[in-house]
A = this chain, B = another copy of it.
Amino acid sequence: MTHSIAILGASGYTGAELVRLIAGHPSIEIKALSADRKAGQTMAEVFPHLRHLDLPALVKIEEIDFGQIDLCFCALPHKTSQAVISALPRDLKIVDLSADFRLRDPAAYEKWYGNPHAALELQKEAVYGLTEFYRDEIRSARLVAGTGCNAAAGQFALMPLVKAGVIDLDDIIMDLKAAVSGAGRSLKENLLHAELSEGYHGYSMGGTHRHLGEFDQEFTKAAGRDVRVQLTPHLLPANRGILMTCYVRGDAQEIHDTLAKAYADEPFVLTLPFGEAPSTHHVRGSNFCHVGVVADRLPGRAIVVSAIDNLTKGSSGQALQNANLMLGEDETSGLMLAPIFP
A20 → B minimal CB distance (Å):
4
Known: A49-B339, A207-B297, A303-B232. A193 touches B197 (CB 8 A): yes
Inter-chain CA distance A51–B268, complex, in Å, is 11
Partner of A188 from B187, B277, B301, B307 at Cβ < 8 Å: B187
Shortest C-beta distance, A207 to chain B (Å), equals: 3
Q: Which residue of chain B is the closest to A48 with respect to CB atoms?
A: B282
Please give, as numbers and ranges, the residues of chain B lying within 8 Å of A180 by CB-CB distance: 192-194
Query: A200 — which chain B residues lie within 8 A by C-beta?
Result: 177, 236, 238, 241, 243, 279-281
Number of copies: 4
B239 with A201: CB separation less than 8 A: no
Residues A183-229 near B (CB distance < 8 A): 185, 187-189, 191-202, 205-208, 212, 228
State the CA gap A180–B200 with chains docked (Å).
Answer: 13
Give the number of residues in A that approach B within 8 Å (Cβ atoms).
83
A240 within 8 A of B: yes
C-alpha gap A140/B144 in the complex (Å): 51
Q: How far is the CA of A190 from the CA of B45 in the complex (A)?
A: 13
Q: A20-B338, A175-B175 are in contact. Are A195 and B281 (CB under 8 A)?
A: yes
Give the shortest distance, in Å, between A75 (CB) and chain B (any CB): 15
Contact digits for A227-247, partner B, Cβ 8 Å, 1 yes 0 no? 010101010111111010101
Query: Given A24-B337, A51-B270, A193-B193, are A199 and B230 also a contact pair (CB < 8 Å)?
Result: no
Q: Which residues between 44 and 64 of chain A lie within 8 Å of chain B, taking CB atoms? A: 47-53
Look across to chain B and name the residue whose beta carbon is closest to the beta carbon of A53: B338
Contacts of A247 in B (CB 8 A): 173, 175, 230, 232, 247
Partner among B228, B285, B295 whose Cβ is within 8 Å of the Cβ of A340: B285
The answer to whether B207 touches A52, judged by C-beta atoms less than 8 angstroms apart, is: no
Q: Which of A256-291 contact B (CB under 8 A)?
A: 270, 272, 275, 277-286, 288, 290
A119 within 8 A of B: no
From B47, B201, B290, give the contact of A277 (CB < 8 A): B201
Q: Which residues of A contact B (CB under 8 A)?
A: 13, 16, 19-20, 23-24, 47-53, 173, 175, 177, 180-181, 185, 187-189, 191-202, 205-208, 212, 228, 230, 232, 234, 236-241, 243, 245, 247, 270, 272, 275, 277-286, 288, 290, 294-298, 301, 303, 305, 307, 336-342
Show 9 A/B contacts (Cβ-Cβ < 8 Å), sorted by A. Answer: A13-B342, A48-B279, A51-B270, A187-B189, A192-B193, A197-B342, A199-B241, A200-B279, A212-B297
Q: A193-B195, A200-B238, A202-B277 are in contact. List 9 more A-B contacts (CB 8 A).
A: A175-B245, A177-B200, A180-B194, A185-B195, A192-B193, A193-B197, A198-B238, A199-B281, A284-B340
